[in-house]
Amino acid sequence: MPKISLVTLGCAKNLVDSEVMLARLDCRGYSFTGDLAEADILVINTCGFIAPAREEARRMIELGLSWKQSRPGRLLAVVGCYPERFPDYLKALYPQVDVWSGVRAFDRIDEIIEKKKDLPRNETFLLSDRTPRVVSTAPNWAYLKISEGCSHRCSFCSIPLIKGPYRSRSVDSVVREAKRLAALGIKEINLISHDTTYFGRDRKKKELPTLLEKLLSVKGIEWVRLLYGYPEEIDDRLLELMLEPRMCRYLDLPFQHASGSIVKRMGRGLDGTRALKLLDRIRKKVPGVAVRSSLIVGFPGEGRKEFRELQDFVARARFEHLGVFCYSPEPGTPAAGLEDEVPEAEKKKRQRAVMQQQREISRKFYAAFRGQTLEVIVDGSDCRKPGYLATRARFQAPEVDGQVMVKPNPELQSKKLPAFLKVRIERALAYDLIGKVTNDQTR
C-alpha cells in the first residue's frame, strides 16, 4: 500500500480528527511515514479559524505542492477547516491539489483519497465511541472530544460558519470512549470542545455535571481536565465537582476582553467587573484552582482607554495561564464590517505589552512552588533540555501551558517510567519549573 504522511495544523480538536483519519487509513492497510521523502500521499489537516492560521496552512500547501512535483504519481489532499470555509478560493489558488475535503468526512478519508473527490455530509463529522481512532499523544494522556460546532454568536468568531451549530455526543458515548482510553493505559483525559460547558444544551439539558460524575468513576482514569469553557456557564454544581480528587482544579475560560464597550461589540457576556467577580467566586469555592484565559487585543474601537481597562483587568485577574491574540477580521462575521480599525503594528505592540504583564504574574505564580513536592504526569523526554523528562503538574494543560522539567535519578532511568512521579521543585522559570525525583514515590 502507498505510504502516507499526515500533517496536522491548528488546535487539539483538529488533532483528534487526524487521529480518526489515521485509524481509518490504518484499517485500510496504508502505512505511515514521518519522512516526506518516503511518502506517496500527503494529507494536510488545516486550520482556517484566523488569518495567521490560514497563512500557515498556505505555506504548508505550497510545501506540499513542491513535494508533489518532485516525483510523479504523488497525491496531495488538503482537508479540514480551511477548505470548508473557503473552498472556491483555495481551488482557484491551488488547482494542482488533487483532492479537497472539509470537516464532514474525516472517517471516510480512505474513500476520499481513492476516489479523488470529497464525500460531503449535511453536518460536521461527530465521532462516537465506535469511531476508530489512533491516540497520537504522549503515552499517559489523551484528548476526548465531546461535541462539534458552536451555537454562540460572538461577533468576531468564524467557528459557527465552519463547524455549524453545537452538537453534543451522548453521555454514554463519551464514557464508553473514556473506558476504551483507560484500557489503553491513559491516565489523564482532557475534555475538549468549542465549549465544553455547553455540553447537552443542544438537547435542552445541562449534562456536563452528569458526564463528569460518570467519568470520575471510570477505573484507570486518574486526572480529568476541562478545556475550552464559557464563563457564563460556570455554576455551583460544576465548581463542587472540581473539588473531587480526580478532577484537575483547572478551568480554561476565554474572557476575550474587559472593556464594557468592546465586550458588547464582541457579543460577549462579561465585562471586566463581572469577570473579576466570577474569578473571585471560583477561587473561593475551588482553592488552588488554575485559570487559563485568552484575550484579544486590537479589536475595532479599542482605543487607549479601552486598552488600559484590559491591562488593569489582567493585573487584577492574575491568571495562572494566559494567551493573547491580535484581532483579525474574519469574512462573514459581524465584526468584519466594524470601523475604528487598530493598525497591525499597534496590535502587536499591545500584545507584547499584555504578555509582558503576564510574564511577571506567571513568574510569581511559579516561584511559589520552589521547595514544594508535586505529583506530575510523565509526558516523555524533554527535547528542550537533554537528559530531562517533560512532565506536568495538575495546573498545567498539555501543549498550551508550561512544564515541570525533571532530572531522573539513575534508578529511574534503568526501568520503565511510571505514569506519575513525585518531584521536588528546585528552580522556577517564567513559565516552567525544574525539579528532581524524590526518594519517596509512594502514591
**Of the candidates 367, 395, 429, which is a domain's last residue?**
367
Residue 297 belongs to some domain of the structure = yes
Angstrom distances, CA of residue 188 to CA of 4, 16, 134, 215, 418: 29, 15, 16, 11, 13
Overall average pLDDT of the 372-386 stretch = 87
220 and 281 co-located in one domain: yes
323 and 380 co-located in one domain: no
Output the pLDDT for position 414. Answer: 55
82 and 227 co-located in one domain: no
- Residue 393 confidence class, pLDDT cut points 50, 70, 90: very high
Contacts of 432 (CB under 8 A, 6+ apart): 366, 402, 403, 404, 405
**Of the candidates 64, 97, 115, which is a domain's last residue?**
115
pLDDT of 277-303, one tens digit each?
A: 999 999 999 999 999 999 999 999 999
Residue 131 belongs to some domain of the structure = no
Overall average pLDDT of the 80-91 stretch = 97
416 and 334 co-located in one domain: no
Output the pLDDT for position 425. Answer: 97
Report the range of poorest mean pLDDT among 76-85, 136-145, 267-276, 336-345: 336-345
Contacts of 355 (CB under 8 A, 6+ apart): 322, 324
Output the pLDDT for position 67. Answer: 97
CATH for 49: 3.40.50.12160
Instruction: Write out the residue range of the structural domain in which residue 80 sits.
Output: 3-115
Report the range of poorest mean pLDDT among 37-46, 350-359, 399-408, 433-442: 433-442
341 and 396 co-located in one domain: no
**Of the candidates 342, 367, 392, which is a domain's last residue?**
367
Output the pLDDT for position 432. Answer: 96
CATH for 414: 2.40.50.140
284 and 148 co-located in one domain: yes
Residue 39 belongs to some domain of the structure = yes
Overall average pLDDT of the 299-321 stretch = 97
In this structure, what C-alpha cell is assigned to residue 192? 475538549
Overall average pLDDT of the 30-50 stretch = 96
Q: How many CB atoms lie within 10 A of CB 303?
A: 12
Dihedrals phi, psi of 100, to nearest 5 degrees: -120, 145
Cα–Cα distance measured from residue 166 to residue 148, given in angstroms and rounded to the nearest whole number:
6
Overall average pLDDT of the 156-179 stretch = 97
Residue 140 backbone class (left: φ over 0; alpha: ψ -120 to 50; beta: rest): alpha
Output the pLDDT for position 413. Answer: 63
Overall average pLDDT of the 172-177 stretch = 98
pLDDT of 120-151, one tens digit each?
A: 889 999 999 999 999 999 899 999 999 999 99
Q: How many CB atoms lie within 10 A of CB 178?
A: 25
Residue 200 belongs to some domain of the structure = yes
- Please name the residue ranges forming H helices in 150-256: 159-163, 171-183, 208-215, 236-241
- Residue 254 confidence class, pLDDT cut points 50, 70, 90: very high
- Residue 186 confidence class, pLDDT cut points 50, 70, 90: very high
10 and 38 co-located in one domain: yes
pLDDT greater than 80 at residue 182: yes
Cα–Cα distance measured from residue 248 to residue 394, given in angstroms and rounded to the nearest whole number:
6
Average pLDDT along the chain: 95
Overall average pLDDT of the 267-271 stretch = 94
Residue 133 belongs to some domain of the structure = no
pLDDT greater than 60 at residue 389: yes
Q: How many CB atoms lie within 10 A of CB 384?
A: 10
Q: What stretch of H or E contains 167?
A: strand 167-168
331 and 403 co-located in one domain: no
Beta strands per DSSP E along 308-372: 321-326
- Residue 410 confidence class, pLDDT cut points 50, 70, 90: confident
Residue 433 belongs to some domain of the structure = yes
Overall average pLDDT of the 31-47 stretch = 96
CATH for 245: 3.80.30.20
155 and 213 co-located in one domain: yes
- Residue 415 confidence class, pLDDT cut points 50, 70, 90: low
Give the residue carrying C-alpha cell 451549530: 165
253 and 344 co-located in one domain: yes
- Please name the residue ranges forming H helices in 234-328: 236-241, 260-266, 272-285, 304-317
Domain count, the chain: 3
Contacts of 198 (CB under 8 A, 6+ apart): 147, 150, 151, 152, 166, 168, 230, 233
111 and 148 co-located in one domain: no
**What type of residue is 223?**
W
pLDDT greater than 90 at residue 339: no
Residue 122 belongs to some domain of the structure = no
Residue 136 belongs to some domain of the structure = no
What dihedral do alpha carbons 105, 108, 112, 117 form, nearest 10°? Answer: -40
Output the pLDDT for position 209. Answer: 97
Overall average pLDDT of the 383-397 stretch = 90
Report the range of poorest mean pLDDT among 60-64, 144-148, 379-383: 379-383
323 and 391 co-located in one domain: no
Dihedrals phi, psi of 304, to nearest 5 degrees: -65, -40
